[in-house]
Copies of this chain bind each other. A is one copy, B any other.
Amino acid sequence: MTLDDIRAAADRVRGVAVRTPLLPCPWAGPGRLWLKPENLQPVGAFKIRGARNAVARLDDGQRRRGVVAYSSGNHAQAVAYAAAEAGVDAHIVMPDTAPQVKIDNTRALGAEVVLVDTAEREAVAHRLVADHGAVLIPPFDHPDVIAGQGTAGLEIATDLPDVEVVLVPVSGGGLASGVGTAVRALCPRARVVGVEPELAADARESLRSGALVDWPVEQRARTVADGLRAQPSALTFAHLNAVLDDIVTVTEAEILAATSLLARRARLVAEPSGAAATAAWLYHSDELPPGRVVSVVSGGNVDPAVLAEALRTDAVGPVPGPGDPLSAGR
């Protein structure tokens, strides 16, 4: 995937995805940190970019036959939204254990929701593809999806051309692959650093060992950052290998403290997955290159009870030591 693919995707997502601004953070010290608030997208996450790009690439026959996605998370709603926007039928396969609110929200976007046993999701999705001749839109393992997510990186490079560090969460790796590709092409001096929960740090291990490792799903499921439990595919791993300078890991407490901080200081409702990159800036600045940082807030679909609980944490949770970025502002 090249910068040209991402530029073409930018033309396609315009008017469907929100052109999010970079938000300067005076509380972090002048000229130190900017946030890319992808939680403000219509479905609450960057996923709309990839979904829209994939839907916009369908030919007329494919549009008539519709699209299929299997996901219980932000990708499902993104595909439903992008399909409805384009007047294309969407079949979303969700586990019958998914929260009712997610099922309702996906239906409210006009999609047909197919509830199945979790173990059958993939099989049912492929049967729908076969039955309808529909196109499967995967959550990250597809060049159109990666290029779509990369439009966020294009915007970062446009808005802050002298950015020095871009922090981006890593799960399946679609966002990090796309953003990294755009930033490295346009800001060759910038470092692109992935962020993972310690409890789901498979991509970090893969990058360090030079080959994809597999963490058992039960192990990855431990993190509160439910959007960061997936693993890269061969396609995204190849991209991550090429575009990431490093991956930093964050603890569960750091993720929740960053969720609180984003609400208190940046007035953004982030889901834990969306707060992970900012947690790396807050608590792992010693592992980051120096300079102007952009942190991608990837999503905001958080259970209100989790947010209310996180808000009870004073300031930013674990008290920062001297020299910590936040100690001056306290």
Contacts and interface: CB of A to CB of B under 8 A. Distances in A.
5 contacts: A26-B81, A27-B105, A39-B267, A40-B268, A267-B269
Given A108-B329, A267-B268, A269-B267, A23 B27 contact: no
A266 B18 CA distance: 13
Contacts of A138: none
A328 interface: yes
A178 interface: no
A81 B24 CA distance: 12
Interface string A1-31: 0000000000000000011111111110010
Given A21-B19, A40-B23, A308 B312 contact: yes
Given A26-B108, A307-B311, A308-B308, 14 more contacts: A18-B21, A21-B21, A24-B42, A25-B42, A26-B42, A26-B43, A40-B266, A104-B329, A104-B330, A267-B268, A267-B270, A267-B300, A267-B301, A311-B311
Interface in A258-305: 260, 263-264, 266-270, 300-301, 304-305
A180 interface: no
